[in-house]
Amino acid sequence: MDIAGINLVTLIASLMVAAVPILLAAIGELVVEKSGVLNLGVEGMMIMGAIGGFMVAVATGSPLMGFIGGAIGGAVLSLFFAVLTLGFLANQVATGLALTMFGLGLSSLMGQGYNGVKPPPTGALFGPLGDIPVIGPILLGHDWMVYFSILIVAVVWWVLRYTRTGLIIRAVGESHDAAHALGYNVARIRLLCIMFGGAMAGLGGAYVSLVRVPQWVDGITAGAGWIALAIVVFASWKPWRVLLGAYLFGGITVLQLRLQAAGSSIPVEYLSMAPYLITILVLVIMSSGRSKAALNAPAALGQNFHASR
Amino acid sequence: MSSPSLCLELTGITKRFPGVLANDNVGFSVRPGEVHALLGENGAGKSTLVKMIYGLVRPDSGQMRFNGAAYTPARPSDARTAGVAMVFQHFSLFEALNVAENVALGMENPPPLRELAARIRAVSEEYGLPLDPARMVGDLSAGERQRVEIIRCLLQDPKLLIMDEPTSVLTPQEVEILFRTLRQLSAEGTAILYISHKLDEIRSLCDGATILRRGKVVATCVPKEKTSRELAEMMVGATLNPPERRPGEKGEVVLGVTDLSVASPIPFGTSLKEVTFTVARGEVLGIAGVAGNGQDELLLALSGELRVAPDKLRIKGHAAGDLGPNERRRTGLVAAPEDRYGHAAAPDMTLVENAFLTGAIRKGLTRHGFIDWAGAKAYAEQVIRDYDVRTPGSYVAARALSGGNLQKFLIGRELDQSPEIIVINQPTWGVDAAAAAAIRQAILNRAAEGAGVVVISQDLDELLEISDSFAVLNAGRLTKPRPVEGLTIDQIGLMMGGAHGMEVAHHGH
């Protein structure tokens, strides 16, 4: 199963791993945006998760504790965003951008002593089962975070679509005034969604520093948060499309690396820009043309809510 | 113990907001099965009062009793649990959700959606309000949306139903269906608290009325025993004069629209289809129709926010379809859209800034590309004076004015620019009787001075009062304008065609 010197099985197996950080960050942001909040600080929350998770994992020697630490790191940073936008009604776009800058700077400061340190390894969940040909590497050979990220997509889809909690989140994102008039606490619902988004972004960041790289360098997330934001929009706020978008991006990232390694004649610059370009192109095509998809944006997205009398 | 024969009893309710005493020692009571009207001008404190009954606002002092027991709802869910339901003035609906989901959001313990859909069907049949639970609310007409709200209330077996301006967006036929439902509910023992500016409706529907003025109860009466004029005068505390018509000569045509078809830029909007009409100097053309039939789109196309082919729209004989709003203002056309907060006005900007925004061109409020602040301020103050806008000054943000006062300012801002063509959508929506009369009079005065006027409104009485000719916008199509003289309400109802599929559902007896 080799095409142009690239093994298809290992390609699929590694794209699933490459997609995890973006997938987690995007699914978190999807919930945030569904509740009507536009948090552009995904990149900042991811990198706080990356350093937070790295520090905890190194200190405790447990990757699990590291991931929990990463989630908490992202959630704590998102709390700043929540206080500013929900409490003080600050502009969401500006606050989100500031959050990214703040996260990048703070993580760099916190990571001072960690350059060159090795984090504890995160092993495959099913151990030797991963050695079964073809299905082994693709379905059974991954660490638990890969399965967890897919599970989270399923759970978010199910909650948004079938539960009352999901209905309330969608309602708040659709019209905060109407939701308030019916007696729902708009600020509290949005606060919880923002923190969920922060935790997911943090988890994604921790996966970068603990599994993908795995070590600490400044700016380790390298723009993954921005791609996650774009994926949410072009996926028309639909969880399974977010999965598709993340895998597409992950796939092309892996593919272009392999092509570079295989000594492809295409210049490296084009290959490195390909994941960004192709992901956005495909998702734009998917979300265009059908008015329904364009209308799927939460109507109150980006608007602050204040309960006037 | 208070008498258990009362459903709701309020005594000494006082609520103060910063700078305003919204309710001052208000007391009244409603019996089970009574339809009780709450009357008052804008800002008289009606909305605050019902919000307190529904648990959205807490009173500073005073007592409420509900079915004989003390009643202090801290949030709407408490009110709903106690048996109070409310239909809001601005619909509390979610356009991108379907009917069943919208209903579920307003209930305390909704059953699973499939079961809920069955119950929605059952209740909607029982009360003659047919409704499909699977439809998207964004696709529904105003009348159907209101049914969603009412059915949401009915599913909870309310003992008290609060209705805040329920008929402002309905056709006459829809109002009749609503009243039949309300009478049926009242016969079953449900008390109804009814807020409306339409005094004729109150006289035909309500058993009792409490009249509020500046937060105080000034009178209680039986509306059937009063004339609409008497009721309005009790609300305002002054004598009212109906608008005066000076029969002016119709001049030459100033605005001509031919075969105007344009796709709607608004999500869930209605495209205009072959709209044709003309307006002459001194003529008021009234355009009726249920909201969502192309009114917003027509205003956009006339104001220039939506551009069309040049010869589809002619101003004073010149092709003007491709001109933008500012160029059209220069030729003498002014437009006032319906949505006060965000379309007609920039809510967070001051009245001076808002006056400048549309007055800049015709009032010459710029000098060498710079804003003439002194001129803008003088213009804003002129409008405030001419139209009796109640505001602490011209420096306050538009948002801070009550709806009626802001509307007076916004209409005045357009009318004071000596326009030759005036386009207004919903001139008196949510405005009290006195202010509405003032706005209508101002429109008529401009027409008498030779302006051609297009008024788009959902208030038929208003259109019949001020229009010379009358047309109906229905699903984006405009009927041929007809002279108002000799038109009956029934003919208009048929023209409106909003009656399609509006028959009361028949159920077996």
pLDDT for B453 beyond 60:
yes
B77: nearest CA in chain A? A183
Tell me, what's the pLDDT at B502?
36
Last residue of a domain, one of B186, B206, B236: B236
- Provide the residue type at B181 as one letter: T
What domains lie within chain A, and their CATH numbers?
A: 2-294 (1.10.3470)
The mean of the pLDDT values for chain B is: 85
CB contact under 8 A, A174 and B95: yes
pLDDT for A68 beyond 90:
yes
Cα separations in angstroms, A59 against A52, A110, A143: 11, 14, 21
CB contact under 8 A, A182 and B94: no
For B247, counting Cβ atoms within 10 Å of its Cβ (0-12 exposed, 13-18 middle, 19+ buried), the class is exposed
DSSP-assigned states of every residue in B288-355? E--TTSSHHHHHHHHHTSS---GGGEEETTEE-TT--HHHHHHHTEEEE-S-TBTTTB-TTSBHHHHH
pLDDT average, residue stretch A176-195: 92
pLDDT digits (tens, 9 = 90+) for A259-281: 888 877 888 888 888 888 887 78
Cα dihedral across residues A273, A274, A279, A282: positive or negative: positive
B57 chain-A contacts, CB cut-off 8 A: 309
B19 chain-A contacts, CB cut-off 8 A: none
pLDDT band at B46 (very low <50, low <70, confident <90, very high): confident
Q: Which of A174, A189, A296, A303 to mutate to test the interface with B (most CBs of B within 10 A)?
A: A174
pLDDT average, residue stretch B83-110: 85
Residue B224 and residue B263 in one domain: no
Percent of chain B with pLDDT over 70: 92
Instruction: Give the minimum alpha-carbon distance from B76 to chain A in angstroms, rounded to a whole number.
Output: 5
A188 close to B (CB below 8 A):
no
pLDDT band at A236 (very low <50, low <70, confident <90, very high): confident
CB contact under 8 A, A178 and B92: yes
Tell me, what's the pLDDT at B266?
77
Quote the longest CA-to-CA distance of chain A.
67
Q: β-pairing, B20-30 with B452-456?
A: unpaired
CB A227 within 8 A of CB A249: yes
Instruction: Give the minimum alpha-carbon distance from A38 to chain B in angstroms, rounded to a whole number.
Output: 18
Tell me, what's the pLDDT at B90?
66
A296 chain-B contacts, CB cut-off 8 A: 96
CB contact under 8 A, B104 and A164: yes
Cα dihedral across residues B103, B105, B109, B111: positive or negative: positive
For B171-291, where are the alpha helices, taking DSSP H only? 172-187, 199-205, 228-236
Percent of chain B with pLDDT over 90: 31
Chains A, B: CB contacts within 8 A come to: 56
CB contact under 8 A, B96 and A164: no
A309 close to B (CB below 8 A):
yes
CA–CA dist A264, B420 (Å, integer): 71
Tell me, what's the pLDDT at B89?
66
CB contact under 8 A, A164 and B48: no
Tell me, what's the pLDDT at A107?
95
pLDDT average, residue stretch B287-295: 82
User: Could you say which DSSP state residue B431 is in?
Assistant: -
Task: Indicate the helix (H) or strand (E) that contains A277.
Answer: helix A268-287
B96 chain-A contacts, CB cut-off 8 A: 170, 174, 295-296, 298-299
Nearest CA among A168, A279, A300, A93 for reference residue B102 = A168
pLDDT for A167 beyond 90:
yes
Say which residue the tokens 């990048």 belong to: A104
Whether B242 is in a domain gets the answer no
**B residues 113..132 contacting A (CB < 8 A):** none
Q: Which domain holds residue B29?
A: 8-236
CB contact under 8 A, A295 and B96: yes
B506 close to A (CB below 8 A):
no
How many domains would you assign to chain B? 2
Q: Which of B77, B98, B105, B165 to mutate to test the interface with A (most CBs of A within 10 A)?
A: B105
Nearest to A309 among B48, B76, B91 (CB): B48
Whether B411 is in a domain gets the answer yes
A179 close to B (CB below 8 A):
yes
Kindly compute the dihedral angle of the four CA atoms of residues B339, B345, B348, B350, in this order, to the nearest 10 degrees: -150
Instruction: Give the minimum alpha-carbon distance from A108 to chain B in angstroms, rounded to a whole number.
Output: 40
pLDDT for B223 beyond 50:
yes
Q: Which of A182, A186, A296, A306 to mutate to test the interface with B (most CBs of B within 10 A)?
A: A182
A182: nearest CA in chain B? B106
Tokens coding A244: 């598709």
Residue bearing the bigger pLDDT, B237 or B416: B416
CB contact under 8 A, A182 and B92: yes
Tell me, what's the pLDDT at A217?
92
Tell me, what's the pLDDT at A309?
37
A89 close to B (CB below 8 A):
no
Residue B208 and residue B286 in one domain: no
CB contact under 8 A, B104 and A178: no
pLDDT average, residue stretch A145-160: 96
**A residues 280..299 contacting B (CB < 8 A):** 295-296, 298-299
pLDDT for A204 beyond 90:
yes
B45 close to A (CB below 8 A):
no
Tell me, what's the pLDDT at B93?
87
A179 chain-B contacts, CB cut-off 8 A: 94, 105
Residue B179 and residue B324 in one domain: no
Residue B206 and residue B80 in one domain: yes
Residue B273 and residue B179 in one domain: no
pLDDT digits (tens, 9 = 90+) for A31-44: 999 999 999 999 99
CATH assignment of the domain containing B348: 3.40.50.300
Q: Which of B77, B92, B268 to mutate to test the interface with A (most CBs of A within 10 A)?
A: B92
Residue B191 and residue B283 in one domain: no
Tell me, what's the pLDDT at B4?
53
Q: β-pairing, B253-262 with B366-367?
A: unpaired
Last residue of a domain, one of B189, B205, B236: B236
Residue B231 and residue B291 in one domain: no
CA–CA dist A80, A89 (Å, integer): 12
pLDDT average, residue stretch A121-148: 82
b/e map B418-428, b = 16+ CB within 10 Å: ebbbbbbbbbb
Tell me, what's the pLDDT at A50?
96
CA B112, B113, B114 angle in degrees (round to 5)? Answer: 95
A183 chain-B contacts, CB cut-off 8 A: 55-56, 75-77, 80
Tokens coding B34: 């009574």
**B residues 258..287 contacting A (CB < 8 A):** 267
Task: Indicate the helix (H) or strand (E) that contains A106.
Answer: helix A92-110
Instruction: Give the minimum alpha-carbon distance from A86 to chain B in angstroms, rounded to a whole number.
Output: 19
- Provide the residue type at B500 as one letter: H
Residue B209 and residue B261 in one domain: no
Q: For residue B31, what are the β-bridge partners?
A: none
pLDDT band at B303 (very low <50, low <70, confident <90, very high): very high
CA–CA dist A239, A26 (Å, integer): 9
CA–CA dist B80, B48 (Å, integer): 18
Last residue of a domain, one of B236, B262, B289: B236
Percent of chain A with pLDDT over 70: 94
Q: β-pairing, B333-336 with B421-425?
A: parallel
Residue B232 and residue B258 in one domain: no
pLDDT average, residue stretch A104-111: 94
CB contact under 8 A, B110 and A164: yes
A261 close to B (CB below 8 A):
no
Tell me, what's the pLDDT at B243?
64
ipTM value > 0.85: no
pLDDT average, residue stretch B309-317: 91
pLDDT average, residue stretch A282-290: 68
B97: nearest CA in chain A? A171
CA–CA dist A9, A197 (Å, integer): 32
Whether B441 is in a domain gets the answer yes
pLDDT digits (tens, 9 = 90+) for B235-285: 877 766 666 665 666 788 999 999 999 988 877 778 899 999 999 999 999
The mean of the pLDDT values for chain A is: 88
CA–CA dist B197, A155 (Å, integer): 49
Task: Indicate the helix (H) or strand (E) that contains A124.
Answer: none
Tell me, what's the pLDDT at B501?
34
pLDDT for B507 beyond 50:
no
pLDDT for B1 beyond 60:
no
Instruction: Give the minimum alpha-carbon distance from B94 to chain A in angstroms, rounded to a whole number.
Output: 6
**Lowest mean pLDDT, pick from A123-137, A205-219, B298-312, B424-438:** A123-137
pLDDT band at B503 (very low <50, low <70, confident <90, very high): very low
pLDDT for B460 beyond 90:
no
Whether B279 is in a domain gets the answer yes
Residue B224 and residue B261 in one domain: no
Residue B184 and residue B270 in one domain: no
pLDDT digits (tens, 9 = 90+) for B114-168: 899 999 999 888 887 888 898 888 888 777 888 888 888 888 889 999 988 777 6
CB contact under 8 A, A175 and B75: no
Instruction: Give the minimum alpha-carbon distance from B93 to chain A in angstroms, rounded to a whole number.
Output: 6
Nearest to A174 among B48, B94, B106 (CB): B94
pLDDT average, residue stretch A62-81: 95
CB contact under 8 A, B92 and A164: no
User: Could you say which DSSP state residue A86 is in?
Assistant: I
Nearest CA among B434, B433, B391 for reference residue B409 = B391
CB contact under 8 A, A178 and B75: no
Residue B205 and residue B275 in one domain: no
